[in-house]
Amino acid sequence: MSAKYVSAKRRRRLSKDNLWGWFFTLPFGIVFIVFLVVPLVYAFYVSLFTYTQVRGSVFTGLENYRRAFSDPIFLKGMGRVVIYTLVMVPIQLGLALILALVIDSMMTRLASASRLLFFLPYAIPVVIGALMWGFIYSKNLGPFTSIFALFGRQPPDFLSTNGIFGALVNMVTWQWTGYYMVILYSALRAIPHDLYESARLDGASELQIAVRIKTPMISSSLVMVTIFSLIGTLQFYTEPMVLRNNANSAIPPEYTPNMYAQALAFNYNQINYSATISFALGLLVVIFSVIFMRVTRKQSGLGD
């Protein structure tokens, strides 16, 4: 619409829009600038200095970034969270989708009870969930030793170097699957049911309906929860941090990039390099998310 045709009334409306639009969004804008933009800028500024114990802080420009992207610890941590993402996201979402479809197709009391119970772990803070699993994984304090003994087996060593990956995947799955399931389930409920009726009349099985009709119908929700869990996993922190108290040597202090940043800042007194790691991580997460959104651009619910 070109400006030529804008009537006087419309212009009044526009200036009103300007005033009130900014009025309503201003508080958000302030918080956004103070607690997101400023820390980001500051992280970047701090990351331009290099601190050494002997000489103190010196301006070194982008040198820290060169160091970060050739720092095996950072790269390994990054690689680790990418692997976690590749394993954890499909498991969580796959299970959440299957459960949502099953519950949606059943109208029994068991189904509605399950919906509530699966969701329960979400209401438990991640820290407390991790504390609990720390005990449960323990060979001597947890139940697995006696459960496996029923089958005459030794339980796997969850807290060893080899077991820790599975242990963390399981913790995250337990905590979040129910949440994603509820989102997907509510999306399923919103689909008009006559769609399935006609498919049933055409002789489609429940499985076919689930795969061919229901799942495509909720693809935008699927993309949304995928992005959440993607971002969540890339900034993996709380679970390994808490579990580390039970598996000190299986989870080194720099296990994930976020943990590395914390160790640098608080244990090794390397604030500048820590800010570099934080900033680099943020940058990589944005790049990952953008790639993902490009790949799934059609289904994406985000954007307008």
Partner 1 sequence: MKTARLMGASVLVAVMALAAGACGSPGSPSGSSNNEASQVHNDAKANDTAKCRNTVKKPNAEKVTVWAWYPAFGKLVDHFNETHDDLQVCWTSADQSAKAYSRFNTTIKAKSGAPDVIQLEYAVMPQFASGVEKHLVDLSKFGVDKIRSNYTAGAWKDVQLGGSKGVYGVPVDVGPVVMYYRKDIFDKYQVKPPTTWDEYEQAGRELKQKGYAGHIGNWQPNGTLFNYAYYDQNGAKVFKYSANDPENVGININSDKVKKVVSFWQKLAKDDIVATDDTDTAEWNKKNVDGSYATIIHASWLVGYLNGVSGVQEGSQWQIAKAPVWDQSDPDVNCGGSGMAVTDQAKHTEAAAKVAMELFGDDAAQDIAVNDSGLYPTWTKKLSSAAFLDRQEPFFGNQKINKIIAPVAQGYKGYQFLPFQTYANDEQTKTLSAILRDGKNASTSLDSLQQTLSDYAKQQGFKVSQ
Partner 2 sequence: MLKEKDAARRIAQPHRVGSNLLLIVCIIYFLMPVWWLVVAATKSNSGLFMGTGGSLWFDKHFALFDNIKELSTYEGGIYWRWLLNSFLYAFVGGLGATIISVMAGYGFAKFRFAGRNAYFDIVLGALMIPTTALVIPTFILMSQIGMNDTLWAVLLPSLLSPFGTYLMRVYCTGSLPDEMLEAARVDGAGEIRTFIQVALPIMTPAITTVFLLSVVNCWNNYFLPQVVLADTKLFPITVGLTQWQAKSNAGSGSEQVWNLITSGAFISVIPLVLAFLFLQKYWVSGLTAGAVKE
Q: What is the footprint of partner 2 within residues 67-106 (CB under 8 A)?
A: 98-99, 102-103, 105-106
Residue 188 near partner 1 by CB under 8 A: no
Closer CB to partner 1, 147 or 286, in the complex: 286
Q: Which stretch binds partner 1 (CB under 8 A): 7-15, 88-96, 173-181, 288-296?
A: 288-296
267-286 b/e (C-beta count within 10 Å ≥ 16 → b): eeebbbbbbbbbbbbbebbe
Residue 230, helix vs strand vs coil: helix
In the range 43-62, which residues lie near partner 1 by CB under 8 A? 44-46, 49, 51-57, 59
Length, in residues, of the chain? 304
Residue 280 near partner 1 by CB under 8 A: no
Q: Which two tokens stand for residue 12?
A: 């009044």
In the range 115-154, which residues lie near partner 1 by CB under 8 A? 134-135, 138-141
Closest alpha carbon to 177 in 238, 104, 252, 98: 98
Residue 136 near partner 2 by CB under 8 A: yes
Q: What is the C-alpha separation between 157 and 129, in angstroms, rounded?
A: 19
When binding is defined by CB under 8 A, the residue of 68, 97, 103, 159 that contacts partner 1 is 159
CB of 29 to partner 1, least distance (A): 12
Q: Using CB distances below 5 to 8 A depending on partner kind, what does residue 205 bind out of partner 1, partner 2, none?
A: partner 2
In the range 63-102, which residues lie near partner 1 by CB under 8 A? none
Q: Using CB distances below 5 to 8 A depending on partner kind, what does residue 297 bind out of partner 2, partner 1, none?
A: partner 1
Q: What is the C-alpha separation between 202 and 233, in angstroms, rounded?
A: 42
Strand partners, 58: 50
When binding is defined by CB under 8 A, the residue of 18, 112, 198, 269 that contacts partner 1 is 269
Residue 249 near partner 1 by CB under 8 A: yes
Closest alpha carbon to 157 in 176, 175, 138, 142: 138
**What is the CA 178 to chain-centroid distance, rounded?**
14
Q: Could you give the dihedral angle defined by the CA atoms of residues 211, 183, 287 and 278, in that order, rounded to the nearest 10 degrees?
A: -140
Closest alpha carbon to 286 in 227, 239, 219: 227
CB of 127 to partner 2, least distance (A): 4
Closest alpha carbon to 181 in 222, 220, 128, 235: 222
Q: What is the C-alpha separation between 107 and 113, in angstroms, rounded?
A: 11
Closer CB to partner 2, 73 or 285, in the complex: 285
Total chain residues near partner 2 (CB under 8 A): 107
Residue 50 near partner 2 by CB under 8 A: no
CB of 61 to partner 1, least distance (A): 12
Residues contacting 23, CB < 8 A, separation 6+: none
In the range 141-160, which residues lie near partner 2 by CB under 8 A? 141-143, 146
Per the rule left: phi > 0, alpha: psi between -120 and 50, beta: everything else, 56 is left
Closer CB to partner 1, 147 or 295, in the complex: 295
Binding site for partner 1 (CB under 8 A): 37-38, 40-42, 44-46, 49, 51-57, 59, 134-135, 138-141, 159-161, 245-250, 252-254, 263, 266-269, 271-272, 283, 286, 290, 293-294, 297, 300, 302-304
